Structure formats: C-alpha cells, structure tokens
C-alpha cells in the first residue's frame, strides 16, 4: 500500500483553451517523479498523471492523497518544496493562492455538470 498518491493533471486541450498540459504539467510530473526518487520514497509514493480534474484555468493541478489536498497553479520550482514539506515532513504546504475548499468544490461541480450535459446531449446518459 502506498502512503501517498500524487496525481498531476497532464490533460492538453486545443490552443487557446486553458489546460494543465498548456502550463507545462508534463515537466511537473517528471519533476515529482524525480524528487520522489531522490527522497528514496518510490516504494511509498505513487506519482501518476491524470486527465482533466475540472479546474483547467488553475493548472497545473496537483492532488495529493490521502490528504486530498489540491495544489493549483503549481510551478516547476515548487515541486521540491511540496515533496519535502508535504510528502516527507507531512505538512500541507500553506501560504499558496489555492482556492478555499468550497470554491474548489463549486468549480468541480460546475465541471461535472458540463460533463453530464455533454453526455446527455450525446445520448449516453
Ligand atoms: S486540464 Fe487540468 S484540470 Fe482541466
């Protein structure tokens, strides 16, 4: 069982459409893997790419479980800090401009509603 699972959204969308992929999240994914290896935690920490999590204008989005912390607008230069503080030391990185939980939930719910509408329009719901 892994102690942490780090998801990095690497979804790309067409030009002019906000996406995590457009913010360089593939590089951020590689950096998380590198930092986890450098910390010797590869047996305890899984790093995975994910598809869109619905906060596309806030990319790159990184979600860490089991805490469920969403880091938004993550930059490459923050990866080591997140690994050192959150994964190694066990403290969620504070003093970021991450939206409050209610805002995250509201934006994610709006995304889910758009998906639901698209599925209904396509006759798949
Ligand atoms: S593209 Fe990453 S949240 Fe949508």
Q: Domains plus CATH for the chain?
A: 4-96 (3.40.30.10)
Query: In the prediction, which pLDDT does 49 show?
Result: 98
Indicate the average pLDDT of the chain: 96
User: Does any ligand 1 atom lie closer than 6 A to the CB of residue 56?
Assistant: yes
d(CA 117, CA 6): 29
pLDDT of residue 13: 96
* Exposed / middle / buried, residue 47 (Cβ in 10 Å: 0-12, 13-18, 19+): buried
Given a contact cutoff of 8 angstroms between Cβ atoms, the answer to whether 44 and 54 are in contact is: no
Given a cut of 90, whether residue 80 has pLDDT beyond it is yes
Question: Exposed, middle or buried by CB within 10 Å (0-12, 13-18, 19+), for 90?
Answer: exposed
Report whether residue 55 contacts ligand 1, using a CB cutoff of 6 Å. Answer: yes
How far away, in angstroms, is 3 Cα from ligand 1 center? 25
pLDDT in tens, 34-59: 999 999 999 999 999 999 999 999 99
Query: Pocket of ligand 1, candidates 16, 20, 114: which has the most ligand atoms within 8 Å of its Cβ, to mutate?
Result: 20
Q: Assess contact for 4 and 44: CB atoms under 8 A.
A: yes
CB of 60 shorter than 6 A to ligand 1: no
Question: How far, in Å, from the CA of 47 to the mean position of ligand 1?
Answer: 17
Is 2's pLDDT higher than 90? yes
Are 86 and 69 in contact by the 8 Å Cβ rule? The answer is yes
21/1 Cα distance (integer angstroms) = 29
């Amino acid at each position: 069982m892994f102690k942490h699972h780090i998801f990095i959204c690497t979804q790309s969308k067409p030009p002019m459409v906000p996406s995590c992929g457009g913010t360089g999240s593939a590089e951020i994914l590689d950096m998380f893997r590198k930092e986890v290896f450098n910390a010797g935690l590869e047996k305890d920490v899984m790093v995975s790419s994910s598809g869109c999590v619905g906060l596309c204008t806030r990319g790159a989005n990184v979600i860490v479980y089991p805490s469920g912390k969403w880091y938004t607008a993550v930059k490459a230069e923050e990866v080591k800090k997140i690994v050192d503080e959150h994964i190694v030391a066990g403290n969620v990185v504070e003093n970021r401009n991450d939206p409050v939980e209610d805002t995250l939930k509201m934006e994610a719910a709006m995304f889910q509603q758009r998906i639901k509408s698209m599925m209904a329009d396509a006759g798949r719901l």
